[in-house]
Structure 1
């Protein structure tokens, strides 16, 4: 025995060595109003590991291993920690700690009797006693961070120290949480029960419908008697389900085939889902053709029939615009190989139709423009709409607008008649912006990505993403000029009119412009800067968005080390480019997709650029040079569109009408233009502009060719502008000019559609059928999130 002045201490030490009072059944149960101490854990572990007690423990056959005993003890300890809302360590970690406690105790018990009175042994025993008297630590290392209730944190601190605190009644806050949790669990159980009863009810009704169609009334009655009775109380808002007949060829129905193709559901997934739906509805899958082979065969055969039916039912508009665009896409046989595909679309401002996306190979014997013309005209003939085409909308690339073998000329030669030329205005805006960005020499890198924007993306986390304070606005020293103030007012009005209709990058661009110019509405709301995305130089919207972000956050960028994002030479160039975007470019871009505004907007842009020389001569000169190569809508053929624009002042429209009447040719109708390069199929000749040029100054005899192409009756030209709105010829002209589309976005969307679904096709004809089915289903159901409900009308 170790010497001790107090007998209780000696008895407690004897327990450490396994001496004194023996382990009883009472030690197998951990009780108390505190977290278990080390002594309670040790005695409970010894109880479960003692061979001599295995007969006294009900349900126990022999002694447990130490780890199994630790698991049994852990289940008794767990309620104490749950009651205190203290997170525990993992089960394995807790069991290992208990086993380690038993190992330490066994090591002390193996000390010989002669050595138990040494100082080293006394220190070990004292340390073990302190460990047994304190709380056995099973809480997680970061328990204080996970606990939300201050009372629980205080209780844990007491358990770690003097162990004065004890369990009491739950506090009001904790009690309310427990009640809410119990209420949620009860609600979930009720909803599950309700769902189960609804399923059972639907199975009953489905079985009844099947029996009514296959058996007489007596057999139906007998079958219903065997079905389980409903025991769910009626609910006011309860949905009773529906009875539906599933045809045996459900996988071959055109609407479902089109929808599955649109959603990119594989035939295997469609077949499996159909079988699962029928089974859950109480049907018999043996009566339905719902195999993978049926779904796969339907994709090929049904889509071809649907495509032919849609082609027969489609009626082209009386006057259409022809769109096309080509791009490299993966081949049908190998996704790693690329091939050229041509997207062809026709339509007007209200209706657009994808004719096809054929593949082609560039050859030495046939020019690219001739290939495009051959494939385009073939599709026009197949869809019987060649005679309705009056206009061409295209990207202003050399393969489309060249003087010799360009696609525009080849298409007119194939159709054997001249057409109107409409360069894509979005593409024109892209060329204009890229020309200025290149001439500014913001960076000398020739990499595919703009390195300045790449650095902005890499260091984005160093900048504020949401900021409501003052931002950098780089209005030049001449900001108080009436000219710039007028430009800012025009942008504010234009942005307010279209901001609710723009989406994605376009919406973000409008918001950044308003913030940069300090609009009142934008200044009152916090600025949310979105992380930079695509950085390729071909992404012209990147130049707009990221330049404005760099300009607005320059104060924060300046706090970073030099060259982290911008260099000292790039800062003034970014300011100049941002000023041009917000004062000149944005107002033109917001309304560039409207055909009747095109001529007036381009002429006004030229005048603004000429005046902008007093602010930044370099940018203005560069922009004017780029614009002079894209005056597609200031030619005589396209000028009549400005007559139908309410944006053009009345005196300008009157002067333009008088000028058109003055250039009236002797031989009408005028079937071929005169101001073109080469023959009547050539590229239109652009006018020469000056600071004083008006729309009326650009009129020439070709205006009558444009009016002839659009079937515009000139009777209203002799009336006053105020009387045009009541003129029948003017109203008919308003309808006819809708045939002119001035942006080629629909062809680019066709390219994206092909890229998305080329992997779902097995052959060339299958791909064309897939594209037609997806386009038609999107027209029928533009938004799948909205539920289409048909209301039943009652007739008197």
Structure 2
């Protein structure tokens, strides 16, 4: 999180007076006289005890509350404390500081007021004594300090070093200030809010149009019954220009329809994207012209014209995009294949390979060629031949530095797999990035298969949450808190199965606010490899419904043994797997996340040795990001502690080869193009222990200047070499989801093509139209903006 100066803090929300009186014994009357109802518009630190105490007295003041509509008399002490707590809570959330329970917080607020009132009740004759003076001085220091509402183990629960430093400052000198969330998360939340606001505006506009149509229909009936009203309407003057927009009726528009309307590129792209056939497009155009009072005989609207023009325009669009596209300097190559219907016979299937290149910001679909398995040519060689052909056609072979792929045998084998064949065709080694989502799928499937679970039925009702045992290891509580913090940061921009998974994890762990929120389960879909998230969703639902399942006849949904396995699997998902899964798609954090997961799995042996052993066995086959080639990415991760980054930099310098730059890796199977050798891990392994000479190949491949390695970690951010390397490293993608989306795109539009080249043109046009208009619901607003 980027730390910036405070713009509006807790003191502003607590409505401090413009000029604070001397600290010490405060009363509600003094607050009112000082102008408590005015905003305090000066910058301030976090809420001190003085502000909390003042706000508490204000909410208890009967005279002030008598002026508020809907409130009669003063609030009770506990109710006033709850009002104060709700005003302070948002700032703890902004600073990512875990709070104590509501009951405990209200008790502390009431205790503060009681301590101050106890001093106020001391008679005037005794206030000059030395003991009373010491008590008053102690109260003044307490009122000047930050009001402590953080949990006792807050430093252990907070993972961000900046948040820990901020909390330490609030406990001491209170010099630090805080601002908004980091720009990336803030932009995602802002986009979600804009979507919700747009949906509300569309609903309001629809309601308004319905009301206008009702009024117009009523007026038309009255006009038909009165000739006098009809004559008056004919002679009535048009409405003035200054008539409010909500009172004006839409009068239509005059537009010229060109004779070649069916061959306009924007309409062709849109019609292709919406899967409108040429015949449907021609018929719709004729109907639109007829309803508008035009003569369709002056427009070419036949099916043959629509079909012919669409093929020609799609080819022109594809060629234009091919000429204008330029590859990013650091490209990752993605590919995936799937069986799709043949163009000549939809009842037969053929393999199609989806190939994409790009970085973390831009991705480009190069093509989806078809191929046949079972020939003398190996599958990996076929994939390499087709992929390299597309790379040469799009002039981007030299920019590819990394490969992101599903970790299947056809891609990662030692002899004729696709990864090796692609490197041989290009004539140079590339980085290997196994898809982290696919790794997570393999890890989960391995455990799920060992447990032999079943699929649940749909259910909505009371839930059974996770209950910690008496002998629960302490590290599980820390993992519980980490997931709660992580889920709060990603819940706003997750959709579909991912969003449901996060919500179910929070409900299962009994997170604050989640257990009290009504939860209705979505109807389960198919359970198969393509929808592997179902394993997570179904297991959590079964665990939440455990108390109701045991009331059913034995074997109705699960057996007794399966109930225990489901509970064990749900505990593993929520405590170990979920946090890794939600943060696994960032390249620079990959090595640290994987090593941390490995250590957690070893520690989890004390909880469930069977699950831990199964997970470790699966993970040891997918240590792609703990190899020397990918280890330098961890130097740019803010999640890695400063000491670990310093030790890793020193270890890389110790393994510096004599000949630089290192253009080929040394620790691979077979030749330089072989699969990287995975390291051997132990419960005490650190990132520095994994460094080897191949780290210099990874840095050379990503064009990372090692000049910053000899500097202190605190000085890296100001180093030009570090800044340039960070740009290159963050361009690398480590998930292969884009290839799966390309497969889905092909499956959706293969029926709209009549030839191989036509299919490629259709896919290029649809991809380009989606990049221009990701959401067709916003097309009207975008059109109005373009016209202005």
**Normalization by structure 2: what TM-score?**
0.69
- Using the alignment, how far apart are the partners of 2:481 and 2:764 within structure 1? 45
> What's 1:64 paired with?
none
Deviation per CA, 1:245-269: give whole Å up to 9, x if none.
2221111011110000000011111
- Using the alignment, how far apart are the partners of 1:185 and 1:712 within structure 2? 61
- Using the alignment, how far apart are the partners of 1:365 and 1:340 within structure 2? 16
How far residue 501 of structure 1 moved from its aligned partner, in angstroms, is 1.1
> What's 1:361 paired with?
372
**Alignment pair present for 1:408 and 2:419:** yes
Matched residue SS, 2:596? helix
Residues 463 and 544, structure 2, Cα contact 8 Å, conserved in 1: no
> What's 2:113 paired with?
none
> What's 1:428 paired with?
439
**Alignment pair present for 1:378 and 2:378:** no
> What's 1:303 paired with?
314
- Using the alignment, how far apart are the partners of 1:765 and 1:381 within structure 2? 17
- Using the alignment, how far apart are the partners of 1:185 and 1:781 within structure 2? 28
> What's 2:79 paired with?
none
- Using the alignment, how far apart are the partners of 1:193 and 1:776 within structure 2? 46
- Using the alignment, how far apart are the partners of 2:773 and 2:674 within structure 1? 42
Residues 475 and 579, structure 1, Cα contact 8 Å, conserved in 2: no
State the number of aligned residues. 562
Deviation per CA, 1:43-101: give whole Å up to 9, x if none.
xxxxxxxxxxxxxxxxxxxxxxxxxxxxxxxxxxxxxxxxxxxxxxxxxxxxxxxxxxx
How far residue 524 of structure 1 moved from its aligned partner, in angstroms, is 2.8
- Using the alignment, how far apart are the partners of 1:751 and 1:619 within structure 2? 34
**Alignment pair present for 1:595 and 2:587:** yes
- Using the alignment, how far apart are the partners of 1:276 and 1:293 within structure 2? 17
**Alignment pair present for 1:244 and 2:269:** no
How far residue 336 of structure 1 moved from its aligned partner, in angstroms, is 1.9
Matched residue SS, 2:276? coil
> What's 1:270 paired with?
281
How far residue 515 of structure 1 moved from its aligned partner, in angstroms, is 0.6
**Alignment pair present for 1:605 and 2:597:** yes
Deviation per CA, 1:407-428: give whole Å up to 9, x if none.
0000000000000000000100
Note closer, same or farther for the CA distance 1:264–1:529 as it changes in structure 2 (3 Å cut). same
Residues 262 and 310, structure 2, Cα contact 8 Å, conserved in 1: no
**Alignment pair present for 1:665 and 2:657:** yes
> What's 2:216 paired with?
191
Matched residue SS, 1:758? helix
Matched residue SS, 1:563? coil
- Using the alignment, how far apart are the partners of 2:337 and 2:720 within structure 1? 41
How far residue 688 of structure 1 moved from its aligned partner, in angstroms, is 0.4
> What's 1:398 paired with?
409
Quick one: which of 572, 577, 581 aligns to 2:569? 577
Note closer, same or farther for the CA distance 1:230–1:387 as it changes in structure 2 (3 Å cut). farther
Residues 636 and 701, structure 1, Cα contact 8 Å, conserved in 2: yes
Deviation per CA, 1:217-252: give whole Å up to 9, x if none.
xxxxxxxxxxx9686853642334333222211110
- Using the alignment, how far apart are the partners of 1:185 and 1:538 within structure 2? 43
**Alignment pair present for 1:775 and 2:767:** yes
How far residue 190 of structure 1 moved from its aligned partner, in angstroms, is 3.7
Note closer, same or farther for the CA distance 1:187–1:430 as it changes in structure 2 (3 Å cut). closer
**Alignment pair present for 1:344 and 2:355:** yes
Residues 474 and 579, structure 1, Cα contact 8 Å, conserved in 2: no
Matched residue SS, 1:404? coil
> What's 2:503 paired with?
511
Matched residue SS, 1:664? coil
How far residue 298 of structure 1 moved from its aligned partner, in angstroms, is 1.7
Matched residue SS, 1:522? coil
How far residue 185 of structure 1 moved from its aligned partner, in angstroms, is 11
- Using the alignment, how far apart are the partners of 2:527 and 2:210 within structure 1? 49
Matched residue SS, 1:569? helix
**Alignment pair present for 1:633 and 2:622:** no
- Using the alignment, how far apart are the partners of 1:192 and 1:405 within structure 2? 73
**Alignment pair present for 1:651 and 2:643:** yes
- Using the alignment, how far apart are the partners of 2:536 and 2:451 within structure 1? 14
Matched residue SS, 2:365? strand
> What's 1:731 paired with?
723
Counterparts of 1:2-21 in structure 2, within 5 Å, are none
Counterparts of 1:112-123 in structure 2, within 5 Å, are none
How far residue 294 of structure 1 moved from its aligned partner, in angstroms, is 1.2
How far residue 184 of structure 1 moved from its aligned partner, in angstroms, is 12
> What's 1:482 paired with?
474
- Using the alignment, how far apart are the partners of 1:286 and 1:409 within structure 2? 60
- Using the alignment, how far apart are the partners of 1:298 and 1:264 within structure 2? 16
Quick one: which of 465, 470, 473 aligns to 2:466? 473
- Using the alignment, how far apart are the partners of 1:675 and 1:189 within structure 2? 76
**Alignment pair present for 1:788 and 2:779:** no
How far residue 653 of structure 1 moved from its aligned partner, in angstroms, is 0.7
Matched residue SS, 1:339? strand
Matched residue SS, 1:278? helix
Note closer, same or farther for the CA distance 1:477–1:734 as it changes in structure 2 (3 Å cut). same
How far residue 568 of structure 1 moved from its aligned partner, in angstroms, is 1.1
Residues 472 and 555, structure 1, Cα contact 8 Å, conserved in 2: no
Matched residue SS, 2:354? strand
How far residue 278 of structure 1 moved from its aligned partner, in angstroms, is 2.1
Note closer, same or farther for the CA distance 1:578–1:791 as it changes in structure 2 (3 Å cut). closer
- Using the alignment, how far apart are the partners of 1:583 and 1:431 within structure 2? 18
> What's 1:563 paired with?
555
- Using the alignment, how far apart are the partners of 2:211 and 2:719 within structure 1? 71
> What's 1:151 paired with?
none
Counterparts of 1:32-111 in structure 2, within 5 Å, are none
Deviation per CA, 1:140-171: give whole Å up to 9, x if none.
xxxxxxxxxxxxxxxxxxxxxxxxxxxxxxxx
> What's 2:493 paired with?
501
| Structure 1 spans left out of the alignment, 5+ residues | 1-182, 197-227, 443-451
**Normalization by structure 1: what TM-score?**
0.68
**Alignment pair present for 1:293 and 2:293:** no
Note closer, same or farther for the CA distance 1:321–1:343 as it changes in structure 2 (3 Å cut). same
- Using the alignment, how far apart are the partners of 1:194 and 1:730 within structure 2? 72
Note closer, same or farther for the CA distance 1:624–1:549 as it changes in structure 2 (3 Å cut). same
- Using the alignment, how far apart are the partners of 1:581 and 1:186 within structure 2? 51
How far residue 476 of structure 1 moved from its aligned partner, in angstroms, is 4.6
Note closer, same or farther for the CA distance 1:537–1:570 as it changes in structure 2 (3 Å cut). farther
How far residue 745 of structure 1 moved from its aligned partner, in angstroms, is 0.4
| Structure 2 spans left out of the alignment, 5+ residues | 1-207, 222-232
Counterparts of 1:218-257 in structure 2, within 5 Å, are 234=239, 236-237=244-245, 238=248, 239-257=250-268
Matched residue SS, 1:245? coil
How far residue 791 of structure 1 moved from its aligned partner, in angstroms, is 4.5
**Alignment pair present for 1:437 and 2:431:** no
> What's 2:335 paired with?
324
- Using the alignment, how far apart are the partners of 2:481 and 2:395 within structure 1? 48
Counterparts of 1:756-767 in structure 2, within 5 Å, are 756-767=748-759
- Using the alignment, how far apart are the partners of 1:756 and 1:185 within structure 2? 35
Note closer, same or farther for the CA distance 1:191–1:688 as it changes in structure 2 (3 Å cut). same
